[in-house]
A and B are shown apart, each in its own frame.
Chain A
Amino acid sequence: MPNLKEVRNRITSVSSTMQITSAMKMVSAAKLKRAQDAIIQMRPYAVKLQEILQNVSSSLDTSENAYARQTNGKNVLIIALSSNRGLAGAFNANIIKKTWSLIRNEYAGHNISVLSIGKKVQDAFKRTDYNIKGTDLPTNLNELFDKLTFNNVAPVAETIMEAFANKQFDQVVIVYNQFKNAAVQAVQVEQFLPIIPTASEGKSGSVDYIFEPSKEFIVNDLIPRSLKTQFYKAMLDSLASEHGARMTAMHKATDNAKEMLKNLKISYNKARQTAITTEILEIVAGAEALNG
């Protein structure tokens, strides 16, 4: 039979843990809301940009673009997006697992570098041969998630694009958690560079636009813009997924703590009951002995 005091101590500790997890859940819910809003805010921009780009490039060969260069080169850059903090269920583990699987399977035999954004992947790859080094790419990008705005993200995307244009890498992929809903995140591997030529659906070109200054100029201006938007979207998705994953994890933790508390209460009451019974027995026995 567990000791009365022991059980009481455990009840205190479990209920304070529960308080923490439920507070964390609430915080994540609020942050999730904000991250989701940012995704919604960005959507009209991304949609319109895609629309214009499709419109302009439908009659143009974009394969000449610096960002469309298709090579058989073996230099691959994997950009892995994770969070800075843990306690988010399998959120970070999934990213790390997927990145390893990319290194070992899909890109086996390639010359791979991993650019990690977020402390958790950085910790996982810091001591491996794949950790990015000897390049002018930014290495400490963890604070990016603290203040996620387009203006902060764009320079990072630009340096990556520049490295690709300089033939430092032949392929760039992003591994991130795509946000489906608060409870579901899907690990996504997206090719960032070279750009995949958009299949023109043929329905565009119905409007005769004036292009100022020229079609080629506009396309060359729009492609980097759309790449930056794509990168920003991946970051936003990852952030929203992180908060979603943490919210779910903390919700489960709170539920488990509740369950545990219930069981502990039962054993506490049992122990209390036993203690009382024993005490009465002792008193009665003592009285009997006196009456003897």
Chain B
Amino acid sequence: MKLEIITPDKKLFEGSVKSAVFPGSEGSFGLLNNHAPMIATLKAGTIELTEESNNKVSFDVKGGVVEVFKNKVTVLAE
């Protein structure tokens, strides 16, 4: 699935990922391919991504919101 992390200052990440783990407001949650449409808020924590090449990337965020729609994940982070 395609994933994008956008902050007000710049685009942090754009690319395909296998899975992603987010620090949700009510506890952390993971996303895999073909997830149902969802909007969720994040609290301060770390976003962990696994890219197609099994390469792991992580980003620290102060909070944000995630939109999942048709295998396209948009993260608005702060």
Contacts and interface: CB of A to CB of B under 8 A. Distances in A.
Interface of A: 38, 41-42, 44-46, 48-49, 52, 55-56, 149-151, 154, 207-213, 217-218, 221-222, 225, 229, 232
Contact of B7 (A150, A208, A221): A150
B78 A211 contact: no
B41 to A, nearest CB: 5
A52 B78 CA distance: 16
Nearest to B64: A225
B25 A217 contact: yes
Contact of A210 (B10, B25, B38): B38
Given A45-B6, A52-B65, A221-B25, A209 B39 contact: yes
Contacts of A150: 7-9, 78
Contact of B8 (A208, A211, A213, A229): A229
Nearest to A51: B67
Interface string B65-78: 10101000010101
B41 A213 contact: yes
B11 interface: yes
Interface in B1-58: 6-11, 24-26, 29, 36-41
B7 A212 contact: no
Contacts, number: 81
A44 B7 CA distance: 9
9 contacts: A41-B9, A52-B39, A209-B69, A210-B37, A212-B24, A217-B41, A221-B25, A222-B65, A225-B65
Contacts of A229: 8
Nearest to B24: A212
Interface residues of B, number: 23
A210 B39 contact: yes
A70 B24 CA distance: 32
A171 B38 CA distance: 34
Given A48-B76, A52-B67, A218 B8 contact: no
B39 A149 contact: no
A35 to B, nearest CB: 13
